[in-house]
């Protein structure tokens, strides 16, 4: 790497292209990557980043790209956010590791207290910390099984929960997540959820269908947990119809089934509230969190009902790095930043700009099949004109061309036809509008 460059919000907030993208330095690094890194680690946008902050990422060639992805909903507070940098630097200079379950430290307890306070519901709660989203999901399942003494787990069409063996079983999509990687963990059952744009069902109707499937295919007497994302992320930013989640939660409660909300992608101000469940009037028994929790440091958590969380024996949960001192200090600074900078409100403003932009375009372009999401977790579903047939080709083309024009744009969806917007909440209106303008122009140009 050549000249050192500082990231964070003081980076020039501009889209600036000084080479073609990826530029020669990134190309060189890409060649080295291909010779050194396993092919399974694919790269969506091969611009090698040297600094990031606010709403931009700067690559090795000096191009400044608009970030509409936040590294998949992670850097909500912004990349290299000053409070996070300060906390991490302070902590690494004190101690880097002890293993919390050997010799503990305060920041882990502080994070647990914060999560117990911030997650929906005022009941008595406990938390346990881990490293990744998938690890949190693995542990939520362990906890639910231990508590209920039952084994089956219900997940949903379009769901995404990770890439470990158990969470691959819980994830719906074959390519790229599962193909050839089986056999998968047993006792995981997938049933239809709620996808208003495609199934046309009300929340009550979708819940009735789901509950019938659970009762017929699994049986409450075998079922430990129902695990669901309050807005399905990788599956296509699918917001369930009103009433769907509360009906499921109620059924779980009546049947001694642990109701787990996976807020890994939706959590921490992203949707305009601290957690997406805050919109739904549901209280989960367990909540899994990660991504936005620690400003980019690897950290995740399971938080939930004290009786469930405390049902397992000491030593049942852990991991060498789980809840590391550096990640927990970063989380405290991150969580404080959401409140101090009012980032949930900022997420709503961002969401309004995005929906306004595409509602306008949708009036004259029937290829914008659906505009959906909450706060700064918004998406457009692209279809063939006048139909609801998914257009994955157009979607891929727009993301690829946006990249060449200096905009990092993520896609998702079971059918690969959803463009998702997950900008850092630190992005300026101007930069956001410029990035969205590139997308609008590309949609128009590819008519």
Helical ranges in 239-374 per DSSP H: 244-254, 306-309, 325-340, 343-364
Q: Which residues 6+ apart lie within 8 Å of 393 measured at CB?
A: none
* 57 versus 228: smaller Cβ distance to ligand PLZ: 228
Judged by beta carbon, residue 59 or residue 234, the one nearer ligand PLZ is 234
* Cβ neighbours for 124, distance < 8 A, ≥ 6 positions apart: 305, 306, 307
Binding residues among 72-101 for ligand PLZ as defined by CB under 6 A: 72
Which residue in 29, 84, 264, 409 binds ligand PLZ (CB under 6 A)? 264
391 is a contact residue toward ligand PLZ (CB under 6 A): no
Site for ligand PLZ in 34-73 (CB under 6 A): 72
> 3-state class of 42 per DSSP?
coil
Per-residue x/- track, 290-309, ligand PLZ (CB under 6 A): x-------------------
Query: Which member of 75, 265, 283, 303 binds ligand PLZ (CB under 6 A)?
Result: 265
Q: State how far the Cα of 69 lies from the Cα of 423, in Å rounded to an integer.
A: 5
Q: Are 226 and 252 in contact (CB under 8 A)?
A: yes
- Judged by CB under 6 A, the stretch of 76-84, 189-197, 257-265, 355-363 that binds ligand PLZ is 257-265
| CA separation for the pair 110, 423 (Å, rounded) | 28
* Residues 6+ away with beta carbon under 8 Å from 110: 328, 332
β-pairing, 407-408 vs 286-289, is: unpaired
Output 262 or 285, the one with its CB closest to ligand PLZ. 262
Give the interface segment with ligand PLZ, choosing from 16-24, 47-55, 133-141, 390-398 (CB under 6 A). Answer: 133-141
421 binds ligand PLZ, rule: CB under 6 A: no
Is 234 an interacting residue with respect to ligand PLZ (CB under 6 A)? yes
Distance CA 365, CA 30 (A): 37
Cα 28 from chain centroid (whole Å): 31
Q: How far is the CB of 264 from ligand PLZ (least distance, A)?
A: 4
The least CB distance from residue 135 to ligand PLZ, in Å, is 7
For residue 303, the minimal CB distance to ligand PLZ (Å) is 15
Nearest to 157 by CA among 256, 96, 228, 207: 228
Is 435 one of the binding residues for ligand PLZ (CB under 6 A)?
A: no
Beta-bridged to residue 129, according to DSSP, are: 301
Q: Does position 139 bind ligand PLZ by CB under 6 A?
A: no
CB of 361 to ligand PLZ, least distance (A): 27
Residue of 59, 63, 38, 40 whose CA lies nearest to 50: 59
Nearer to ligand PLZ, 188 or 368 (CB): 188
The binder of ligand PLZ chosen from 64, 132, 411, 417 (CB under 6 A): 132
Segment near ligand PLZ (CB under 6 A); pick from 120-128, 261-269, 325-333, 371-379? 261-269
Please state the closest distance from residue 131 (CB atom) to ligand PLZ, in A: 8
Contact positions with ligand PLZ (CB under 6 A) in 154-193: 160-163
Binds ligand PLZ by CB under 6 A, chosen from 61, 138, 229, 285: 229
Burial of 358 (0-12, 13-18, 19+ CB in 10 A): buried
**What's the CA gap between 360 and 384, in Å, rounded?**
18
Integer Cα distance of 171 and 265 in angstroms: 14
DSSP state of 223: E
Which residue's Cβ lies closest to ligand PLZ? 133
First to last CA, the chain: 41
Q: Decide: is 373 part of the binding site for ligand PLZ (CB under 6 A).
A: no
**Which x/- pattern, by CB under 6 A, does the window 309-328 give for ligand PLZ?**
--------------------
Alpha-carbon gap, residue 413 to 411, rounded angstroms: 7
Q: Counting beta carbons within 10 angstroms of the beta carbon of residue 177, is it exposed (0 to 12), middle (13 to 18) or buried (19 or more)?
A: middle
- Choices 33-41, 53-61, 132-140, 191-199; region in contact with ligand PLZ by CB under 6 A: 132-140
Residues in contact with ligand PLZ by CB under 6 A are: 72, 132-134, 137, 160-163, 229, 233-234, 262, 264-265, 290
């Amino acid at each position: 790497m050549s000249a050192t460059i500082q990231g964070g919000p003081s980076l020039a907030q501009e889209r600036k292209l000084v080479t073609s993208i990826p530029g020669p330095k990134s190309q060189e690094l890409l060649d080295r990557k291909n010779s050194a890194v396993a092919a399974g680690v694919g790269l969506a946008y091969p611009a090698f980043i040297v600094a990031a902050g606010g709403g931009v990422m700067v690559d090795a060639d000096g191009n400044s790209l608009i970030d509409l992805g936040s590294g998949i909903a992670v850097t909500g507070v912004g990349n290299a956010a000053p409070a996070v940098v300060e906390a991490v630097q302070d902590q690494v200079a004190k101690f880097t590791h002890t293993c919390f379950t050997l010799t503990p430290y305060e920041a882990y307890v502080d994070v647990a207290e914060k999560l117990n306070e911030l997650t929906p519901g005022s009941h008595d709660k406990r938390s346990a910390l881990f490293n990744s989203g998938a690890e949190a999901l693995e542990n939520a399942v362990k906890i639910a099984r231990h508590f209920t003494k039952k084994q089956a787990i219900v997940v949903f069409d379009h769901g995404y929960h990770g890439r470990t063996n158990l969470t691959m079983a819980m994830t719906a999509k074959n390519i790229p997540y599962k193909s050839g990687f089986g056999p998968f963990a047993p006792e995981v059952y997938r049933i239809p959820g709620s996808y208003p744009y495609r199934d046309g069902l009300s929340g009550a109707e979708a819940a009735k269908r789901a509950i019938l499937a659970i009762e017929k295919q699994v049986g409450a007497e075998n079922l430990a947990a129902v695990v669901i994302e309050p807005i399905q992320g990788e599956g296509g930013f699918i917001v369930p119809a009103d009433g769907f989640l509360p009906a499921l939660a109620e059924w779980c409660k009546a049947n001694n089934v642990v109701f787990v909300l996976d807020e890994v992608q939706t959590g921490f101000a992203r949707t305009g509230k601290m957690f997406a469940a805050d919109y739904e009037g549901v209280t989960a028994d367990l909540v899994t969190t990660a991504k936005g929790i620690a400003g980019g440091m690897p950290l995740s958590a399971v938080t939930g009902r004290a009786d469930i969380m405390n049902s397992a024996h000491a030593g049942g949960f852990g991991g060498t790095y789980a809840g590391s001192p550096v990640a927990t200090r970063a989380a405290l600074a991150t969580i404080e930043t959401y409140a101090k900078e009012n980032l949930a409100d900022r997420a709503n403003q961002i969401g309004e700009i995005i929906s306004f932009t595409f509602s306008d375009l949708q009036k004259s372009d029937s290829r914008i099949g659906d505009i959906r999401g909450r706060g700064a977790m918004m998406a457009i579903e692209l279809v063939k004109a006048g139909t609801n047939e998914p257009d994955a080709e157009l979607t891929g083309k727009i993301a690829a061309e946006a990249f060449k024009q200096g905009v990092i744009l993520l896609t998702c969806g079971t059918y690969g036809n959803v463009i998702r917007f997950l900008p850092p909440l630190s992005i300026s209106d101007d930069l956001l509008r410029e990035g969205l303008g590139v997308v609008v122009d590309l949609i128009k140009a590819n008519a």
